[in-house]
Chain A
Amino acid sequence: MQTLDIALKDIRHQFSSLFGLMFMFAVPLLIVAMFTLAFGGTSADGPAEFSVPVTKTAVVNLDTGRTGVDLDPTDANPTTSAGDLLVRLLASDEMRDLVTLTAFTSADAGRAAVDSRSAEVALIVPASFTADVLDGSAGNPVEVYQDPTLTLGPSIVRAVVGQYLDYYASARIMQSTVAASLAESAVTLSPATMKRVTDAYVAEILASRSDSGSLQSEAPPAKQEKPRSTMATILSVSMAGMMVFYVFYTGATGAETILIEQEQGTLQRLFTTRATPGTVLKGKLLGVVTTTVLQMLVLILVSTLAFKIDWGRAGLVGIALGATALCAAAFGVMLVSFMKSTRQAGIVLGGIVTATGMMALMPLFTMNSPTAARLGSRIALFAPQGWSARAFTQAMDGSSPGEVMATAGILLVWAVVMFAVGRARMAHRFA
C-alpha cells in the first residue's frame, strides 16, 4: 500500500506541473513537427511524399551547334543544338520541381552566381558540346560547378545531365554496332532503309525510358506488409527517437524526486514510518514507470493523429513500450544513485541524458548518408535509448514478434543491470 501511495504522490507531482507537461508532451511533438516541415509536411491520408528541394541552377549554354545540324526540326530554330535541348529539358515541366534555371552568357558569370550563393550549381555547356555528343569525342566536358557544402542539388543536376548524355551515347553505340555488323557481313543498306530502322530504334529507346527502367522492384519482407514512403520513414524514426529521448529524461527527473525529498527532509520522515528503503525505491520506480507509460501512450496517440505515423501492431508496440518504461525508470534510479544534490543532478542528469539520447538519435542524424546510416545505427546501440528506439522502429517496420521481443529482452537486461546498480548504491546510502 505504501508503495502505491508513494507512486501516486510522484505521479501527481509530475502531472501537476505545467512546465513538466510541456516538456513531456509538447516539446517532442514540436520537434517532430519541425522535421515534418523540413521534409515535406503531411496530407490527410498520411505523411506527404519526401519533397526534394528545388536546386537553383545557373545555366551557361555556350554550345555553338554544328553547321547544317538541326537536332529539333519541329521548332523555329533552324540550328537547334544539343546544348539547347539540354537546357530545354532542364526547363521542362517535369523538372520544374527539381531545378530552377537562370541563364548566364559566360562561364565566369555562372561561376560568380555560385560564388555569391545566388545559385547552388552552375551548369556550363561547352561550345563543342553538339559536336562532342554526336561524334563521341572526348572534347570539352560539361562542367557542373557547385557550392562545396552541397551534395543533393548538384547530384540531381549531374543525374539529369548524365541521363541526357546516355541518350546520345546509346545512339552512337547503336550506329557503331550496326556499322560493324554490316561491315563484317559485307552488307550494305540504302540510306532510306537505314533511316527507317534508325527511327524505329530511337522510338523504341524513347518508349522504354521510364522512371523505373526495366527494374521490377520488390520491398524487403518486413516492409512488404506496410510499404512506406521516405517521408514516412523520416517521421517515424524522428518521432520514435524524440519520444525515447524525452521518456528517458522523464525517467531521470522522476527518479530525481528521491534527491528532492532527501533535501526537503521528507524522505527522512518517511523512514521514521514502517517504510523501508526498498519500499520507497519500489514506489519511486512504480511512479516513474506509470508516468513514462502514460507519456508514451499520449505521444503515440497524438503523433498517430497529427502526423499519421503508423506505429505498427498494438501488441508489438506494447512490448516496446513496456520495456522502454522499465528501462527509463531504472536508468533514472541508477543515475540518481550517484548524485548527492539536486544542483549536481541538474547538470549531470542533463548531460548524461543528452549524451546518451544523442547517441540514440544517430540514425536520425545520418539518414541522408547511406554509408553513415549503418554506422550511426550501430553507435546508437551503445545507449539503452538506442535499443528502445530500435524496438519501436522494428514495430513500425512490421518486424516479426520474435525480433521485437529480442530487442525488448536486451532492453530489460539493461534495466535489470541499471536497477541493480542503483538499488545497491541507494541501499548503501540509506543503510
Chain B
Amino acid sequence: MNVIDLMLKDLAQILRDRKSLMFLIVMPVVFTVAMGFVFGGYGAPADSRVPVAVIGDPTDAVYTAFADMAALSGVIRIVSPAASDDASLRIAVRDGKLAAAVRMPADYLRTSFEGSTPLLHTIVDVASTGGMTARGELVNLSMRLTAAAATARLTVIVLSEGGKPAGCDDFKTAFVRAAASWLEQPDSLVTTVSSALTERERNAGGFAHTSPSMILQFSIAALISAAGIIVEERKSRTLERLMTTRISRPRILLGHYLAVFTQVFAQCALLVLFGAVVLRVQYFHAPVATLLVTICGSAFVAALGLLIGIASRSEEQAVAFSLIPMFLLAGLGGAWVPLEFAGHAFQTIARLTPGFWMVDAYKGIVQRGLGVQSVLTPSAILLGWALLFGLLAVLRFRRQTG
C-alpha cells in the first residue's frame, strides 16, 4: 500500500459519507449567500441609510428646514412612523424599527428669537450601531439648525443697529433663508478608493467580504469529517494493522495529509468557483494569485486537520477540536466582524494568525484588485503555518505510535 492508495482510501471514505458534503459544500454556500444577503447582496443597491422619524408640524418652517436637510443626508433616511405619539416612538426605537425619532419643538423659532437654543427631543438607542450612526448625523443637522437660528438673530441685531426695528417676522425670514442656503452648499468632499476594480466589481453585491470569510470558516469546520476518518482508523485498529505493513510512518502521515489537502483544496476551489461564477466575486481578476492563495490556504488547513485527527481520541473530540480553531481563527481572521472595528492589540494578534492572511490575501484580489505580487507574503506565511502544524502532527504521531 503506498501513499496514493492511502490517500484514495481516505477520500473514498469521505465521499461515501454524503453527510460530509453538507459541511464541504452545502453549509458554506448557504452561509455565504445568507451573509451576503444580510449585508445587501444580490446586486441590489440596498439603501444603507438608517431610518429616522422626524415628528412635527409639516407647515412649520423649522420642521421643513430640518426635513429638507435630512432628505439630502447619505446617512439617515426620513420615514413616517405608524404612530407618532412618544410611547409608540419609544417602542419603535427599542424594537429597531427606527434608529431614532426626533420631535421638532413647536416653539423653536420663538425660543431662538428670545436668545435660547431649543433642544430637539430625540429618542435613540446609542448602544446600537444604528442609533449611534443616526445620532452622529442628527447632531450635525441640529448644529446647522442652530447656526441658522444664530444667523437669524444676528440679522435682527444688524437691522436694529442699522436703524430698522426688526422683530420675529424678520427673524423667521432670515432663518428660512439661512436654512435654505444649507441645501445649496457645494459638495466639497469626494471619496476615491485604492482599487483597480469598479465599485460594482469590488463589492460584488456584498459577497466580496462574505465569500472569502466563509471559505476560511467552513474549510476549517469541514475538518470534522477528515479528522474523524483518522480517529476512526485508530479506534478500529486499522492503523495498527497498517503499521504491520511495509509502509513507513511518514508515508502514512503523508497519505492522510494528501487526502485532507485534496478535500480542503477541492472545497475551496468549488467555493471560489461558486463565488466567481454565481456571485460575481472577482476571484478571476487575478486567477494565478487566487490559485496560489487557495493552494497555500489549503496546505495550512489540511495540516491543521492532520493535527486534529491525530490529537483527537474520539469523534466527539474531533468535532470539538475542529470547532475551537474554527471560532478562533475565523474570529481573529476577521471572518465575522471586519478587523478594522477591533482595537490595536487585537489587530496585532490577528496578524499573527493564518486565518487573517488567508482572508486578507483573497480580499486583496477581489476588493483591492491586486495581483500575484500581493499574495506572495500571505502565501509564504500560510505555508509556514502548514509546516508548523505538520511538524506538531508528526511529533504527536510519533509519541502515539511509540
Contact = CB atoms under 8 A, between A and B. Distances in A.
9 contacts: A115-B194, A141-B189, A146-B191, A154-B191, A181-B174, A209-B143, A211-B139, A214-B120, A369-B48
Given A37-B346, A214-B146, A348-B19, A152 B341 contact: yes
Nearest to A339: B19
A147 interface: yes
A364 interface: yes
B82 interface: no
A182 B190 CA distance: 35
A78 interface: no
B318 interface: yes
A377 interface: yes
Interface stretch (A168-176, A266-274, A279-287, A300-308): A168-176
A147 B193 contact: yes
Nearest to B190: A141
A149 B221 contact: no
A420 B189 CA distance: 62
A28 B125 CA distance: 28
Contacts, number: 358
A396 B151 CA distance: 46
Contacts of A328: none
B188 interface: yes
Contacts of A185: 159, 162, 164
B55 to A, nearest CB: 13
B123 interface: yes
A142 interface: yes
A158 interface: yes
Interface of B: 17, 19-20, 22-23, 27, 30-31, 34-35, 37-40, 46-48, 50, 90-91, 93-94, 96, 99, 102, 117-130, 132-133, 135-136, 138-148, 150-152, 154-155, 157-159, 161-164, 170, 173-174, 177-178, 181-182, 185-195, 197, 202, 209, 221, 224-225, 228, 232, 314-320, 322-324, 326-328, 331-332, 336-338, 340-347, 349, 363, 367-368
Given A187-B163, A193-B161, A173 B315 contact: no
A108 to B, nearest CB: 12
Contacts of B315: 342-343, 345-347
A185 B165 CA distance: 10
Nearest to A352: B22
Contacts of A39: 341-343, 346
A350 B323 contact: yes
Interface of A: 19, 23, 27, 30-31, 34-35, 37-41, 51, 53-54, 111, 114-115, 120, 132-133, 136-139, 141-154, 158-159, 161-163, 165-166, 169-170, 172-174, 176-178, 180-182, 185, 187-189, 193-194, 197-198, 200-201, 204-205, 208-209, 211-223, 227-230, 232-233, 249, 253, 256, 342-351, 354-355, 358-359, 361-362, 364-377, 379
A200 B27 CA distance: 64
Given A201-B151, A367-B129, A158 B189 contact: yes
B19 A347 contact: yes
Contacts of A166: 140, 143-144, 147
Contact of B151 (A51, A159, A177, A219): A177
B190 A144 contact: yes
Contacts of B159: 181-182, 185, 187
Given A365-B35, A379-B34, A53 B347 contact: yes
Given A187-B164, A350-B322, A216 B122 contact: yes
A347 B20 contact: yes
Nearest to A122: B194
Contacts of A369: 39, 48, 129
B38 A53 contact: no
Given A39-B343, A173-B151, A178-B174, 12 more contacts: A53-B344, A146-B194, A149-B367, A158-B189, A162-B189, A173-B185, A177-B181, A189-B161, A211-B139, A220-B94, A343-B315, A347-B20
